[in-house]
Amino acid sequence: MVKGLKPFFSASGIAIIGASAKPNKLSYGIVKNLTLYGYQGAIYPVNPGAKEILGLTCYPDIKNVPDPVELAVIVLPAGMILPVVKDCAERGIKAVTVISGGFKELGEEGQALENEVLDVIKQNGMRMVGPNCVGTMSLHTGLNTTFISGAPDVGGIGFLSQSGAVLGGVVDFVKDKGIGFAHFSSLGNEADVTETDMIEYLGDDPNTTVITAYVEQIREGQRFLEVVKNVSQQKPIVLLKAGRTAAGARAVSSHTGSLAGSHAAYQAAFKQGGVVEVQSVNDLFDVSQAFALQHLPQGKRVVILTNSGGPAALTSDSLAMNGLEMADLDPKTIEYLRSKMNPSAQVTNPIDMLGGAEPQDYEVALLAVIADPNVDIIVPILVPQSLVNPVEVAQKISEAAATTQKTVISCFMGDAMVAEPRRVLHKNKVPMVVYPESIGTILGAMLRYKTCLDQPQESAPVFADIQRETANKLIKTAAELPSLGEAETRPLLAAYGIPVVAGGFAKTAEDAARLADQIGYPVVMKIVSPQILHKSDVGGIRLNLNRTQEVVEVFQDMMEQISLAVPEAILEGVLIEKMAPKGQEVIVGMRRDPGFGPMMMFGMGGIFVELFKDVAFKVAPITRLDALDMIQSTKAGTLLAGYRGMPETDINAVVDMILRLSVLALDYPQIGEIEINPLVVFPKGEGALALDGRVIFGG
């Protein structure tokens, strides 16, 4: 377990430094909350100008606070924080929550002050939540250092948020909905305790069964990925990431860079780490509640029980869009339901029991489909109406659900009429939503997590044939260059065991002709210029040259035409390469993300990569399964596998290329981007060949 975080949720004593006797002050709200929810530890308001607050004795400073005290909550102007933190260190307090703002969120001066406070924290082996936060809350111990009004039910969801306002809104949103929480934590500026620290702590916390998070930025990407890979094997992590658009992506030079927007790294890391990403606050808690209450689905086959056709149709659409399927009921189940239901009821799937369906109808239908071997998931839907008691329906659903390990998710449409049924269902571990389209989102998330758990655990491979000494010399020689063109990239790729097409560099027409004669016809000619990144855009690639004289003429023509088209370009010469056999063209690349490090890319290659944007990403280091998943998640991968009678290609060779390029990226952090485009893939067992590549230095 990450060190030092336990006092934020179960301290034996808490000092509130800057506590106020005025009910309109935040610090008064903190003292009040510590008295409301059953916290059994000592509470020490610290205020030299008051004798008591809410009947609790006040102390003039932290040095005079008696034992036991494990946590100090500071609510003072930013300029007063540093000496108070030093006093806490002298007092031996190891956990501090700084509620106050006025730090790095205000600019350079605030950042400098925050750094000074952090230095004291680290020098004294302390932990700090904040500054600029709302505090922490444990529903199991009653410790509540927030100033938020009210608290949700006790349960298994551990929620962390980088935004205090989001945390406050969530608490109000989930109150009285029967959604149970273990802990809340508002992390603010994360000067010390980060979202990764808190996830690691909650991963070991016995009261937390589901970790739920709202994040805006993850700074230590590699550590985050390492932590969530471990934690997600023990319990689900459901996460909402703000800032998913491309607005934050920086301008880059390569295809890989232009396609790897800022959120692509997060999406890749979440998928690799087993994190379930959602798209809204509503989904965040619908999905988390389902994980907290229900069994994971053992398959994709869903049956719907309903008293209304419209919600069933909406649910069916939602299921299909999230990769689930409607179950084909066993004929015996259909026959049984026909004997028990209203003669006008529909007893195939969805099972529409009509508007007058009684609680016992739900019970009969539920028990029947629970027994059906063709069913994995059951979705009871109720639209309340005046003749049927929705609470009794909820009770029957709860009783039936308790008899099975199959997944049961309910939908009761409405507001006031479904409030009490929701409490009944949640108390009995049956999740309830009010919108039919939420069902597919929830079940899709649960199935993704189940797939993650079922995936074999692998380590990144080690390659014994990499020629690092050769690569080191090449990188050292290029130390002052902004990039490497294809001529310089070819030997670097070859040093890492990546096959490159036969060829060489020529400065003159005569050199080009001599090289072509040696390689053997037909050949390809490519312009070499540090100013020209996309050779085909300027006529810098000529194919199928078959004679010595043709090579000479094309060389002269290429130099003349490109000089006119790009007068600022320095034309160093050409590459002469063997004309490669036909195959499937793909792209393999890497872009170094500032937070997560090397991001590997695979997709459709050639000139179409940016047009179709058919790409997948993973964060290095990656395993063979990661590389295979990248390939299989794209349309390019579908083509490689042999689409509609096309020959199956050498996917294993592509996996090997991605893994070798991943090792190259990890070995040289000074490389900002690498690209092999196209990588031509031959029929199964015949390998793959890099036809073009480049390296761009810098992050």
Q: What are phi and psi of 110, to 5 degrees?
A: -65, -35
Residues whose CB is less than 8 angstroms from the CB of residue 567 and which lie 6 or more positions away in sequence, other chains included: none
pTM above 0.85, yes or no: yes
**Percentage of the chain modeled with pLDDT above 90:** 85
Considering only CA atoms, which of 410, 338, 397, 391 is closest in space to residue 363?
397
Q: Read off the pLDDT of each residue in 548-565 and give the average, rounded to a whole number.
A: 95
Q: Is residue 237 part of a domain?
A: no
| Helix ranges (DSSP H) in 189-329 | 195-204, 221-231, 255-259, 262-273, 281-293, 309-321
Between CA 453 and CA 681 the distance in angstroms is 32
- Residue 406 contacts residue 376 (beta carbons within 8 Å): yes
Average pLDDT for the chain: 93
Between CA 421 and CA 372 the distance in angstroms is 26
Express each pLDDT in 471-528 by its tens digit. Answer: 999 999 988 889 898 889 999 999 999 999 999 999 999 999 999 999 999 999 999 9
pLDDT recorded at residue 699: 65
pLDDT recorded at residue 258: 43
Pair 684, 669 in one domain: yes
**C-alpha gyration radius of the chain:** 31
pLDDT recorded at residue 457: 86
Sign of CA dihedral 549, 553, 554, 555: positive
- Compute the half-sphere exposure of residue 398: CA atoms within 13 Å on the CB side of its CA: 18
The tally of domains found in the chain comes to 4
Between CA 295 and CA 297 the distance in angstroms is 6
Q: Read off the pLDDT of each residue in 105-129 and give the average, rounded to a whole number.
A: 96
pLDDT recorded at residue 176: 78
In the block, tokens 């500071």 appear at 74
**550, 578, 606 - which closes a domain:** 578
Range of the domain at 622: 584-697
If DSSP states are collapsed to H, E and C, what string results for 505-544?
EECCHHHHHHHHHHHCCCEEEEEECCCCCCHHHHCCEEEE
Pair 542, 618 in one domain: no
Q: Is residue 57 part of a domain?
A: yes
Q: Is residue 217 part of a domain?
A: no
Q: How would residue 288 be classed by pLDDT, with cut points 50, 70 and 90?
A: very high
Pair 450, 320 in one domain: yes
Pair 68, 158 in one domain: yes
Pair 193, 324 in one domain: no
Pair 506, 446 in one domain: no
Does residue 374 surpass a pLDDT of 70?
A: yes
177 C-beta neighbours (distance < 10 Å), count: 16
**171, 191, 208 - which closes a domain:** 208
Express each pLDDT in 406-434 by its tens digit. Answer: 999 999 999 889 999 999 999 999 999 99
Does residue 609 surpass a pLDDT of 80?
A: no
Q: Is residue 550 part of a domain?
A: yes
Question: Using the 8-state DSSP alphabet, how is residue 19 labeled?
Answer: -
Q: Read off the pLDDT of each residue in 346-368 and give the average, rounded to a whole number.
A: 95
pLDDT recorded at residue 262: 66
Sign of CA dihedral 338, 343, 346, 351: negative
- Residue 409 contacts residue 442 (beta carbons within 8 Å): yes
Question: Using the 8-state DSSP alphabet, how is residue 598 labeled?
Answer: E
Q: Which residues are 48's β-sheet partners?
A: none
pLDDT recorded at residue 244: 66
Pair 653, 591 in one domain: yes
Q: Is residue 281 part of a domain?
A: no
SS3 assignment, position 615: strand
Residues 293-332, buried b or exposed e (16+ Cβ, 10 A)? bbeebebbbbbbbbbbeebbebbbebbeebebebbebbee
- Residue 273 contacts residue 223 (beta carbons within 8 Å): no
Q: Which two tokens stand for residue 60?
A: 């003039």
Q: Which residues are 545's β-sheet partners?
A: 523
Q: What are phi and psi of 666, to 5 degrees?
A: -70, -35
pLDDT recorded at residue 239: 97
Angstrom CA distances, 687 to 310, 662, 680, stand at: 53, 18, 9
Rounded to 5°, angle at Cα 124 from 118 and 128: 45
**153, 182, 208 - which closes a domain:** 208
Q: How would residue 219 be classed by pLDDT, with cut points 50, 70 and 90?
A: confident
Pair 204, 83 in one domain: yes
pLDDT recorded at residue 253: 41
Query: Pairing between strand 410-412 and 483-484?
Result: unpaired
Domain with residue 493: its CATH number is: 3.30.1490.20
Q: Is residue 448 part of a domain?
A: yes
- Residue 104 contacts residue 46 (beta carbons within 8 Å): no
- Residue 20 contacts residue 39 (beta carbons within 8 Å): no
Pair 549, 649 in one domain: no
Pair 51, 190 in one domain: yes
Express each pLDDT in 221-268 by its tens digit. Answer: 999 999 999 999 999 999 999 876 654 434 334 444 444 456 888 999
Q: Which two tokens stand for residue 398?
A: 């709860």
pLDDT recorded at residue 319: 98
Express each pLDDT in 635-662 by its tens digit. Answer: 999 999 998 888 899 999 999 999 999 9
Pair 480, 554 in one domain: yes
Pair 167, 62 in one domain: yes
Q: How would residue 171 be classed by pLDDT, with cut points 50, 70 and 90?
A: confident
Q: Is residue 682 part of a domain?
A: yes
Q: Read off the pLDDT of each residue in 19-25 and give the average, rounded to a whole number.
A: 95
Domain with residue 384: its CATH number is: 3.40.50.261
- Residue 597 contacts residue 222 (beta carbons within 8 Å): yes
Q: Read off the pLDDT of each residue in 103-125 and give the average, rounded to a whole number.
A: 95
